[in-house]
Amino acid sequence: MKRRSPYYILSGIVLLLLILALAVREPVETTAAQPTLYWGSRGRSVSLLQRKLASWGYYDGRVDGIYGSDTYRAVVEFQRKNRLRVDGIVGRETWAALGYQWAGSRQNVVRAATTAGSTRSNDVEMLARLVHAEARAEPYEGQVAVAAVVLNRVNSPSFPNSISGVIYQPLAFESVANGQFNLPPTEENYRAARSAINGWDPTHGALYFWNPSKPVSRWIWSRRIVRRIGNHVFGI
């Protein structure tokens, strides 16, 4: 009977240890409580989130551990379809719906939502995209007005209390449903979004806008019109 070379024995041991390490690693990663995630988050928990969303058909981007625009859109779509709060923040309810425990606290969610480097730029980006999709042919004041309507809805108890929640509310904006929202904004669109965030509201509190020359629901005409800017009318 031939004796096995020590080299082959050692290689077999190393291979066995690698297999055991990989087998143990996944349960540790997936069963551990996960932190609150939001735009700008990085790390293994983001990768876990991306893999889970990809396996369920919500995410088709790279699993890179970076919470950017693709991950955000996937999270928002997941939240919307599962009737969760649509805010792009992966906290207690969203992690639970994904099948994981949450390690954060309510305080962490507030901190995440007010992080200047992530949420502020995210708000500007989303508003600018909506302005481009809904009002790119409008005068500058009309572009600011569209962004202002979104912010007015955020402050109204009748609508979601976040910019992402308002924009992604089902049937709220046709441009979100038809993909126009995903087109890149212009610099003017960004300026209009910032002007609205900084307090300019040409609509004086309007919650709705529409183009009278296009087909709209009969219900919208029950709103009291407060301003006309460009091709849009604004109502409350």
Q: How confident is the model at residue 161 (pLDDT cuts 50, 70, 90)?
A: confident
- What is the mean predicted confidence (pLDDT) over 45-71? 93
Residue-wise pLDDT tens digits, 85-134: 887 788 889 999 999 998 864 333 333 433 334 457 788 999 999 999 99
Q: Name beta bridge partners: 225.
A: 235
Look up residue 169 and give its two tokens.
Answer: 């509310």
E strands, the chain, in order:
208-210, 225-229, 232-235
φ and ψ of 56, to 5 deg? -100, 5
In the chain, what percentage of residues exceed pLDDT 90? 57
Least confident of 77-91, 100-114, 134-148, 174-188: 100-114
Confidence band of 7 (pLDDT split at 50, 70, 90): low
- pLDDT, tens digit, for every residue of 162-172? 898 899 888 89
18: enclosing H helix or E strand: helix 6-31
Q: Please name the amino acid found at residue 222.
A: S
CB 218 within 8 A of CB 210: no
Torsion 39-44-49-50 (CA) sign: positive
Residue 117's pLDDT is what?
41
Both tokens assigned to 192: 């209009």
As a whole number, mean pLDDT of residues 26-52 equals: 78
- Domains (range + CATH), the chain: 31-113 (1.10.101.10), 120-235 (1.10.10.2520)
